[in-house]
Structure 1
Amino acid sequence: MQDSCKSPTAHPFLRNGFRPFFLLGALYSVTNLLIWGGFFAGHRPPPTFMLDPIQWHAHEMVFGFTIAIVAGFLLTAVANWTGRNPAGPMHLAGLSLLWLAGRVVMQFDLGLPEIAIILIEGSFILALALTLSFPLLKSWNKRNFVFLVLLSILLACDMTFLVTKENPSLYVAVMIIVALISLIGGRVIPSFTVAALHQRGEKARQVPQEKLDILALLSLALIILVLIFEGKEGMFLAGASFVSAIIHAMRMRHYHTHRILGDPMALILHIGYIWVIAGLILTGFSALGLVSFPIALHAFTAGAIGSMTLGMMSRVPLAHTGRTVRATRLTLLSFILLQGSALMRVFGLILVPEHTVNWIMGSATLWAFCYAFYILAYTPILWKPELARRGV
Structure 2
Amino acid sequence: MTSRCLSEPGPTASNPWLIEGLRLFFPVAACHAILSPLVWVALFVFALPFAHDIPVSQWHAHEMIFGTYGAALAGFLTSAVPEWTDTRPRQGRALLALLWLWLPGRVIGFVGLDALVAVAAVTDLAFLGLLFWYVVKALIDRGSTRHASFAVWTGLFWVIELGVRVAWMAGMTDVAARLLHAALMVFVVFFSLAIARINVAIINLALDPSGETTPYRPHPGRQNLTAGLVALYAVAALAAPASTVPAYLALAAAAAFFDRLAEWFVGAAVFRTHVLALAGANLFAGVGFLLIGLAGLGSPLVATTGFHVLSVASLGLAVLSVFIIAGLRHTGRALHLPWQAHAAVIAMIAAGLVRVLPEIGIGTFLLGKHYVLSGCLWSFAFAIWLVGFVPLLKRPLYETARQA
- The Cα offsets for residues 60-114 of structure 1, whole Å up to 9 and x where unpaired, read as 0000000111111111111211221241211111111111122123335789654
SS at match of 2:254: helix
Residues 225-244 of structure 1 mapped to structure 2, 5 A cutoff = 225-231=235-241, 234-244=243-253
- CA distance 1:8–1:245, change in 2 (3 Å): closer
Which amino acid is 2:389 matched to?
Y
- CA distance 1:266–1:240, change in 2 (3 Å): same
Structure 2, unaligned runs of 5 or more: 168-172
- CA distance 1:7–1:281, change in 2 (3 Å): same
What TM-score do the two structures reach when normalised by structure 2?
0.89
- CA distance 1:199–1:43, change in 2 (3 Å): closer
Cross-structure match for 2:215? 205
What TM-score do the two structures reach when normalised by structure 1?
0.92
Cross-structure match for 1:366? 377
Cross-structure match for 1:382? 393
Q: CA deviation at 1:223?
A: 0.3
- The Cα offsets for residues 229-260 of structure 1, whole Å up to 9 and x where unpaired, read as 111x5431221111222222223313325533
- CA distance 1:37–1:202, change in 2 (3 Å): farther
Q: Within 2, Cα distance between the matches of 1:77 and 1:364?
A: 29
Q: CA deviation at 1:180?
A: 1.2
Residues 58-69 of structure 1 mapped to structure 2, 5 A cutoff = 58-69=61-72
Contact 1:257–1:270 under 8 Å retained in 2:
no
- CA distance 1:10–1:47, change in 2 (3 Å): farther
- The Cα offsets for residues 213-233 of structure 1, whole Å up to 9 and x where unpaired, read as 3332221121011111111x5
Q: Within 1, Cα distance between the matches of 2:228 and 2:13?
A: 46
Cross-structure match for 1:333? 343
Does 55-64 or 206-215 show the bigger shift? 206-215
Deviating beyond 4 angstroms after TM superposition, the runs of 4 or more aligned structure 1 residues are 1-5, 108-113, 200-204, 352-355
Which amino acid is 2:263 matched to?
H
Cross-structure match for 1:249? 258
2:199 to 183, 189, 204: 189
Q: Within 1, Cα distance between the matches of 2:128 and 2:337?
A: 31
SS at match of 2:314: helix
Q: Within 1, Cα distance between the matches of 2:114 and 2:353?
A: 39
Structure 1, unaligned runs of 5 or more: none
- CA distance 1:200–1:343, change in 2 (3 Å): farther
1:34 to 34, 38, 52: 38
Cross-structure match for 2:92? 89
Q: Within 2, Cα distance between the matches of 1:209 and 1:346?
A: 31
Q: CA RMSD in A?
A: 2.5
Q: CA deviation at 1:186?
A: 1.7
Does 289-298 or 351-360 show the bigger shift? 351-360
Residues 46-57 of structure 1 mapped to structure 2, 5 A cutoff = 47-48=50-51, 51-57=54-60
Contact 2:192–2:224 under 8 Å retained in 1:
no
- CA distance 1:338–1:218, change in 2 (3 Å): same
Residues 134-283 of structure 1 mapped to structure 2, 5 A cutoff = 134-164=137-167, 165=173, 166-199=176-209, 205-231=215-241, 234-256=243-265, 258-283=267-292
- CA distance 1:110–1:366, change in 2 (3 Å): closer
Q: Within 2, Cα distance between the matches of 1:322 and 1:120?
A: 34
Does 156-165 or 170-179 show the bigger shift? 156-165
Cross-structure match for 1:287? 296
Q: CA deviation at 1:147?
A: 0.5
Cross-structure match for 2:170? none
% identical equivalent positions: 24
